[in-house]
Homo-oligomer: A and B are copies of this chain.
Amino acid sequence: MTDLAAGRPADRSNAPVLAVDIGGTKMAVGVVAPEGQVLVSDRTPTLVRPDDDAEAIWNRLRGLCEKVLDAAGRPVVQGVGVGCGGPMRWPAGEVSPVNIVAWRGFPLRARLAEMFPDVPVRVHNDAVAVVAAEHWRGAGRGVENMLGMVVSTGVGGGLVLGGRLIDGGSGNAGHVGHVVADPNGPACGCGGRGCVEAIARGPALVEWSRAEGWRPDDPAADVRELAEDARAGDKIARETFERAGWALGVGIASAIALCDVDRVVIGGGVSQVGPLLFEPLERTVRTYARMEFTRRARIERPVLDQSAGMVGAASFILRGDRYWSAD
């Protein structure tokens, strides 16, 4: 788009960004100011009917974008940033989210580029977006080297090293969930064995505790009930979090040795159980990370709320110098 008066490209560096956060449960869209404040936002379930096809989901997202832009007064935006569940072809932005089965190789970046032809559209992993957000405006602010983790249905993450988001050769750097915690451990969904994720993801906690004999009153009980039982003294429930904290701690110790990070920021639904998880986690890190430089790393909780995904998506445009390397 050109500035008609001057015949040259418009300066949009003070314009906001359209930020999109897509997960298996909900999609959120916001208009984010250059300093990272979410000005207007809205959300919608990702699936309204279980058999929604790829185009139904796309149309829902497209409608949400239009609705949020309307609510914000149709601002000129300087770009569109997206965090989406992986895996994906990166930076092409063809997404195949594990939890959105109707999207397999869906050309999300290309579709958004058709909608917003004059500005950059940048799509990255949703966990990476959250880590970028925490680095930019949260618990990693001012730190040059940080590992961020999201412990939830899976265990995702992202790396900021030398002040820049690390992408790796295929945009997959930061997969701390697939660091091997126990080489003789359980099979992992990735095809490997004993990964941090295989032991510490929420569903694995529930599965393991049930196999060990945990019998909650509610047959549909999940990590929340498991944590309540642990706090009430249930031995199996306590051991479950001990084991998960141990696996996370081993993986974190390995990551600290390899990447020499100053800070580790751990969020996600499972992390909300608090000391049940963090006490064994920190103890394990202290056991395995014993060198002067590995003892330096501080473990912190996230600062941002659920808007982190949008803030991180926006950072791919607003702070592309730090958080986007692909173009």
Contact = CB atoms under 8 A, between A and B. Distances in A.
A4 interface: no
A239 interface: no
A59 interface: no
B325 A162 contact: yes
B292 A87 contact: yes
A258 B291 CA distance: 20
Interface string A183-216: 1000000111111000000000000000000000
B258 A259 contact: yes
Interface in A154-174: 159, 161-162, 164, 166-174
Contacts of A178: 254, 257-258, 291, 294
Interface stretch (A10-18, A23-31, A282-290): A282-290
A159 B254 contact: no
Contacts of A183: 181-182, 250, 288
Interface in A208-232: none
A261 B293 contact: no
A179 interface: yes
A20 B182 CA distance: 41
A255 interface: yes
A197 B193 CA distance: 21
Interface of A: 87, 144-145, 159, 161-162, 164, 166-183, 190-195, 250-251, 253-255, 257-262, 287-294, 296, 325
Closest 9 CB pairs of A and B: A168-B260, A191-B290, A178-B257, A173-B260, A169-B262, A179-B254, A172-B260, A172-B293, A145-B169
25 contacts: A144-B169, A161-B166, A161-B168, A161-B173, A162-B164, A162-B325, A166-B166, A168-B293, A170-B260, A172-B260, A172-B293, A175-B291, A175-B293, A177-B257, A178-B257, A179-B258, A180-B250, A180-B254, A190-B294, A193-B288, A251-B254, A254-B258, A255-B258, A258-B258, A258-B259
